Amino acid sequence: MGCVMNNFDIHEFDCPCCGVNEMKPVFLDMIDEARRLAGVPFEINSGYRCPKHNKEVGSTSMNHTSGQAADIKCTDGPTRFKIVSALIKAGFKRIGIAKTFIHTDSTDGPMSIWFY
């Protein structure tokens, strides 16, 4: 990998089924900066997904398989606010909010915040 992360271990982003990790350094730099800005831990639920695992979890999106997405565990409003604010400040323009996680990606899709 071409980046130095201060707030994560690179293996937090490994695919859970095969251990492969093809995360993009630019994404990792951005999420590391977001974590610093938020001042709260980011627990990664899902980082890189191999195509097989992506299919197993029912996703048709290629964001995780391209190494440009992560799902961050989050279950309360104050922490959610800190994480989303920090993601935006760090340059993320695509954020999905669910009851138990926040998705972010650095793909070229349209700027958007959505709910699951």
Q: In terms of DSSP H, where are the helices of 39-111?
A: 51-56, 77-89
Q: Using CA atoms, how far apart are residues 7 and 28, in angstroms rounded to an integer?
A: 10
Domains of the chain: 11-115 (3.30.1380.10)
pLDDT-based confidence at residue 3 (cuts at 50, 70, 90): low
Query: Torsion angle, CA of 11/16/21/26, rounded to 10 degrees?
Result: -70
72 pLDDT above the threshold of 90: yes
Can you give the pLDDT at residue 1?
Answer: 43
Which is nearest to 63 in space by CA: 92, 98, 34, 84? Answer: 92
DSSP state of 64: T
Average pLDDT over residues 94-104: 98
Specify the pTM: 0.93
Rounded Cα–Cα distance for residues 109 and 114 (Å): 13
What secondary structure letter does DSSP report for 110? Answer: P
